[in-house]
């Protein structure tokens, strides 16, 4: 668990968006990465890695824009290293002169995509690719997640096409029989995950409902409904909740706080172990009645999942252990992060 704390404008959101960009590059969803350079250390399945990348500058744009750029930049340097004890194994190296994989020369690689994506089927790269697929970002608002499949989920095309053909629960079971649900659906929208859980893994869906009803006692049931769109070509999938004494409430009428809470529960409970869930301004749209339960929920699940959160809310900051804080500060255009446990003044204040 990591809670990024600091004043407004110091760079907390920028850190999360930088990780989002790096993740997109690893998965081949390149956005504008002109004139960027990074070195990132990460662990997956008890194995440590370092990935370095440098790109050339072809034009100046806002690097963290959510708009896809028509002109992609060139990657001029890339290196992936696996740590084996005290030694390093160079898995891949790419420069403007040559490319090597596992110490063997490669033919010229496409320079607008990362080698991690281009070599994603290689045994040494597969665990790295899986690691980046386990980063789950929760930037979207409730409104933008309603009734959408998200066109930029390229790896979800097969699943979405499968949804259009669904007529029975047996079809669902057939689709998921040979693979882990949590692995296959790591990048899916929450409503799609919830639909599959409801139809194929009812015990997991029941866990979501129980947590949700505990937070909102006025709710006595939750479900995901599917129906054909009016044009007959697409499937519409949406949440509904039933409050005591009332009819089913469709997703578009669920309050933003109640909807955000439901999405969060789905994301966490459906996440594979060793996933990393990143949430900007965790308290957004949440009432004070939600915060104690959701904070406890995060603390309970943090042994299997890493959370990277930002928050300004005193309740959340004060109820998450201070040793998990990452103190964010800014000097000029440089953003600096320090572990709270490395700051003597905080250690003294907490004792």
Domain boundaries, the chain: 141-271
- The residues that bridge with 3 in the sheet, in sequence order, are 309, 325
Residue 160 reports pLDDT greater than 90:
no
- At residue 189, the pLDDT reads 82
Average pLDDT over residues 84-107: 93
The span from the CA of 150 to the CA of 159, in Å, is 12
Residue carrying the six token digits 């005290």: 86
21, 340 Cβ separation under 8 angstroms: no
Quote the mean pLDDT of the chain: 82
Between these two residues, 346 and 44, which has the higher pLDDT value? Answer: 44
Number of other CB atoms surrounding residue 36 within 10 Å: 18
Residue 226 reports pLDDT greater than 60:
yes
Token pair, residue 262, equals 């439901």
> Where does residue 325 rank: exposed (0-12), middle (13-18), buried (19+ CB within 10 A)?
buried
- Residue 57 — φ and ψ, nearest 5°? -95, 120
Of 85-94, 161-170, 182-191, 224-233, the poorest mean pLDDT is in 161-170
Residue 305 reports pLDDT greater than 70:
yes
**CA proximity to 264, closest of 215, 322, 219, 313:** 215
Query: Binning pLDDT at 50, 70 and 90, where does residue 33 land?
Result: confident
Residue 158 reports pLDDT greater than 50:
no
Average pLDDT over residues 93-108: 93
The span from the CA of 180 to the CA of 184, in Å, is 6
Query: Binning pLDDT at 50, 70 and 90, where does residue 231 land?
Result: low
- At residue 248, the pLDDT reads 95
Average pLDDT over residues 122-134: 93
Token pair, residue 72, equals 């992609």
DSSP strand pairing (37-44 vs 325-331): unpaired
Residue 149 reports pLDDT greater than 60:
no
319, 1 Cβ separation under 8 angstroms: no
- At residue 67, the pLDDT reads 46
Token pair, residue 335, equals 């953003």
The span from the CA of 239 to the CA of 244, in Å, is 17
Residue 25 reports pLDDT greater than 70:
yes
- At residue 199, the pLDDT reads 81
Give the pTM: 0.81
Between these two residues, 351 and 239, which has the higher pLDDT value? Answer: 239
User: 280 — alpha (psi -120 to 50), left (phi > 0) or beta?
Assistant: beta
Sheet strands (E) in the chain: 2-5, 37-44, 47-55, 75-84, 87-94, 99-101, 104-105, 135-137, 219-228, 235-243, 248-250, 276-279, 306-310, 325-331, 334-339
21, 37 Cβ separation under 8 angstroms: no
317, 3 Cβ separation under 8 angstroms: yes
| Model pLDDT for residues 44-70, shown as the tens digit of each residue | 988 999 999 999 875 545 445 554 444
Query: Binning pLDDT at 50, 70 and 90, where does residue 232 land?
Result: low
- At residue 64, the pLDDT reads 52
- How far CA 315 is from CA of 290, 291, 329, 338, in Å, comes to 11, 8, 21, 22
DSSP strand pairing (276-279 vs 135-137): parallel
């Amino acid at each position: 668990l990591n809670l990024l704390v600091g004043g407004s404008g110091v760079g907390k959101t920028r850190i999360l968006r930088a990780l989002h960009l790096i993740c997109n590059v690893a998965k081949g969803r390149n956005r504008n990465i002109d004139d960027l350079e990074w070195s990132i250390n990460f662990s997956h399945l008890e194995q440590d890695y370092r990935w370095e990348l440098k790109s050339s500058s072809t034009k100046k744009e806002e690097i963290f824009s959510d708009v896809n750029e028509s002109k992609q930049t060139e990657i001029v340097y890339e290196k992936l290293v696996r740590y084996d004890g005290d030694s390093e194994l160079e898995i891949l190296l790419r420069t403007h002169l040559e490319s090597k994989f596992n110490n063997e020369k490669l033919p010229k690689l496409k320079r607008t995509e990362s080698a991690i994506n281009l070599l994603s089927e290689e045994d040494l790269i597969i665990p790295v690719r899986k690691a980046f697929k386990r980063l789950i970002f929760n930037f979207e608002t409730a409104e933008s997640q309603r009734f959408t499949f998200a066109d930029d989920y390229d790896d979800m095309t097969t699943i979405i096409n499968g949804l259009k053909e669904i007529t029975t629960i047996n079809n669902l079971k057939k689709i998921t029989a040979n693979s882990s649900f949590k692995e296959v659906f790591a990048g899916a929208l929450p409503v799609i995950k919830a639909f599959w859980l409801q139809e194929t893994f009812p015990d997991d869906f029941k866990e979501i409902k129980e947590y949700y009803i505990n937070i909102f006692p006025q709710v006595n049931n939750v479900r995901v409904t599917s129906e054909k769109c009016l044009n007959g070509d697409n499937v519409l999938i949406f949440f509904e909740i039933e409050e005591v004494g009332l009819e089913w409430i469709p997703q578009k009428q669920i309050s933003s706080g109640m909807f955000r809470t439901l999405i969060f529960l789905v994301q966490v409970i459906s996440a594979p172990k060793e996933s990393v869930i990143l949430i900007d301004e965790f308290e957004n749209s949440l009432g004070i009645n939600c915060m104690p339960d959701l904070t406890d929920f995060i603390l309970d699940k943090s042994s299997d999942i890493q959370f990277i959160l930002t928050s300004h809310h005193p309740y959340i900051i004060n109820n998450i252990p201070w040793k998990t804080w990452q103190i964010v500060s800014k000097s000029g255009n440089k953003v600096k992060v320090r572990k709270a446990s490395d700051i003597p003044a905080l250690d003294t204040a907490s004792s």
